[in-house]
Chain A
Amino acid sequence: MSSDRTIGATLVGLARALGHALVSEQVARQPGLLQAFDPRVRVAGLLGLVLAVTLSHRISVVLALLCAAVLIALLSKVSLMTLTTRVWLVVLLFTGVIALPALFLTPGDAIFTTADGGLRITAQGATTALLLIARVEAAVTLTTLLVLCTPWMHVLKALRAFRIPQEVVMMLAMTHRYIFLLAETASQMFESRRSRTVGVLTGPEQRRMTARTAGVLLSKSVELSNDVFLAMQSRGFRGDVKILSEFRMRVWDYVGLTAFLVIAILAVWMGR
């Protein structure tokens, strides 16, 4: 791969991550079904549905949960195009490639055999491949809905409600904050390197360049952590983390939570 394409691929990856985050923030601010619920209900409800998807043994139930996820997406103003490009096609591509050989490798009753008899698709193979794809599509769709419809800070506060240790929540918040800073810094470093590069770099030169960029980023990261620590200490940080929690459950939230749980329990019961 040429040096320009290598740097370009890294830049695209960094830009895509930043772009996804922006889309999430925009969708989370729109009025919609999920957005109207307390973040704790969103986290508990959607995770309950994800759990129901993994517990269901029947394709029909898993597909019904996928349809429910699509309905929730539409009511939450999440564009189907976003779900198609970000979830469904990606999952279909990766899980499809993984599931495809199962059609032929799973022993069972043949439903299709090639003319020379070399390959045969079994009913059990088709079922297992379809079940895997449907399950992953449904689970990833539900997880993506949570990601798209809940601002990150609300997810963190919801995690506190689920007794996740304060240090962990604080580290999650800080990491999220600095991912964007470091991603932008890395992006600028690669961009400036690309603008200074004339000709084609050999493979070893590209590896050295990537490692040095990562090294500079590492030094900057450690320096940044020292600065952050000094800033925290100067503001009186002594290891105790306090997070404001202004969430309040209303009747609507209890209705939503009950609905999510009823659907999840029904799906588990029907999908046994």
Chain B
Amino acid sequence: MHIPDGYLSPSTCAVLYVGAGLGWYGALRRIRRTLTTRMVPLISVFAAFSFVLMMFNLPLPGGTTGHALGVTIAVIVIGPAGSIMAISIAIAIQALFFGDGGITTLGANCVNMAIVGSLVAYVAYRMISSGAAITSRRRLIAAAAAGYLATNAAAFIAAVEFGIQPLLFRNAGGVPLYAPYSLGVAIPAMMIGHLAIAGVAEGAIATGLVAFLQGADPALLHSTSGLAPDSSAAYSSTSLRSLRKLWISVALLLLLTPLGVLTAGKAWGEWNASEYSAAAGRARIAASSQNQPAPSETPTGLQRLSSLWTAPIADYAPQIVKSPALGYLLSGMFGVGLVMSLCFAMQSLLLRRRGGPGQAA
């Protein structure tokens, strides 16, 4: 899953570096705030452990072997922020010192494995193991599912990164400049191996390690267990304080949403089926495609799929509102509200399922 240099375009790499940078910034802030200097050697040694763990050959059912990423056990023992940093450090050393994985693609690899992998593993582990005692068998199932889901989520994101390359980056003759396969080829090709082998390896090694720690060193499983009342109280109070800045940022961004109506035309490739038949729409498509004329007829796939779903607030313009800027603002508020509702629903689900200290599964 380590993407080498040359497979992704520089602009994709730059965007993913920005994404990775945000993830690193958030993780470092959280580590600095909640933790002490003890975290520096812990993350370093854990990164070294993950690096070595990636070299372990794990025999899998069917006679094949697989390698683990080590992200799941890192999340379970040192939490998502520590895991993001530890796995990123391991990936950076693989790229900078061992030449495994690219340097221009370091951001992409960290987004896929360290950030997406850690967050998916954390959510899956917490949701499935919620309320379970440290020695519960449910924690083994949670570790297996977290490992499997995290690996496949990371692989899926990598496949999407590969798959968008030929759509976005071709030369004048239509030759793909980077990874040559479209999403239809890249996703199945990438996912088959990860669904069948790599995900199983990560799940198996995470389960084995959690089982080992349940017997040998259960204290290491406490930090993400949700069973420590003191630490969770501290987490909540700190989170509420730190969320204030986030709310202010969201409010500012919301106020800026009407800027979207100032932009001319549509983003390239986001055309409706109706625009292919209207003269004005065809002119817009040609103008934004370096004067390449639009196809004479609406692509059949687009025609067929576009009728599958009709958005309730199409084009960010509620029908009851006449002013485009106000419509944009209201749509933004509605979207943010929807995302927040989903997050609150997930949070309340997690809190409801979380049991008290030592509560059995």
B-contact 0/1 string along A62-77, CB 8 Å cutoff: 0000000000000000
The listed residue with most A CB atoms (<10 A of its CB), out of B8, B177, B205, is B177
Quick check: B41 and A174 within 8 Å, CB to CB?
yes
Known contacts A106-B180, A165-B28, A178-B44, A10 near B55 by CB under 8 Å? yes
Of the residues B41, B175, B213, contact of A106 by C-beta under 8 Å:
B175
Tell yes or no: A108 within 8 A of B by CB. Answer: yes
Q: Which of the residues B38, B73, B90, B99 comes within 8 Å of A87, measured between beta carbons?
A: B99
Query: Which stretch of A33-41, A131-139, A243-251, A256-264 is in the interface?
Result: A131-139
Q: List the A side residues contacting B102 at CB < 8 Å.
A: 50, 139-140, 143
Q: Is the interface of A mostly helix, strand, loop or mixed?
A: helix
Q: Would you list which residues of chain A between 156 and 182 have a CB under 8 Å from chain B?
A: 165, 167-168, 170-172, 174-179, 181-182
* In the bound complex, CA of A65 to CA of B104 (Å): 16
Complex Cα–Cα for A105 and B253 (A): 44
For A182, give its contact among B38, B48, B185 (CB under 8 Å): B48
- For residue A50, which residues in chain B have a CB less than 8 angstroms away from its CB? 5, 102-104
Closest B residue, CB atoms, query A184: B52
Q: Return the chain B residue nearest A228 by Cβ.
A: B41
Number of interface residues of A (CB under 8 A): 89
**A211 interfacial contact with B, CB 8 Å:** yes
B114 within 8 A of partner (CB): no
Cα distance A57–B6 when bound, in Å? Answer: 11
Contacts of B178 in A (CB 8 A): 132, 135
The interface centre, meaning the residue of A17, A54, A165, A238 with most chain B CB atoms within 10 A of its CB, is A54
Q: How far is the CB of B12 from chain A (nearest CB, A)?
A: 10
The answer for the CA separation of A136 and B7 in the assembled complex, in Å, is: 7
Chain A residue contacts of B44, Cβ below 8 A: 170-171, 174-175, 178, 225, 228
Q: Nearest Cβ distance between residue A147 and chain B, in whole angstroms? A: 5
B52 touching A186, Cβ below 8 Å: yes
Decide if A124 touches B41 in the complex (CB within 8 Å): no
Cβ–Cβ contact B52 & A182, under 8 A: yes
**In the complex, what distance in Å separates the CA atom of A203 from the CA atom of B148?**
19
A179 CA to B73 CA in the complex, in Å? 17
**Per-residue 0/1 for A213-255: is the Cβ within 8 Å of any B Cβ (1 yes, 0 no)?**
1111111011011101100110001110000000000000000
Query: Are A131's CB and B48's CB within 8 A?
Result: no
**At the interface with chain A, which of B58-66, B117-125, B127-135, B271-279?**
B58-66
- Asked if A178 and B5 make an inter-chain contact with CB atoms under 8 angstroms apart, the answer reads no
Question: Which residue of chain B has its CB nearest to the CB of A201?
Answer: B59
27 A-B pairs whose Cβ atoms sit less than 8 Å apart in the complex: A1-B57, A9-B57, A10-B56, A24-B97, A47-B103, A50-B5, A108-B174, A124-B174, A127-B173, A136-B5, A139-B104, A143-B103, A172-B96, A175-B93, A183-B52, A186-B55, A203-B63, A207-B204, A210-B205, A211-B207, A212-B212, A217-B49, A218-B77, A218-B212, A222-B45, A225-B44, A228-B41
**The 6 residue pairs across chains A and B that have the minimum distance between CB atoms:** A211-B208, A215-B212, A139-B5, A174-B44, A135-B6, A178-B48
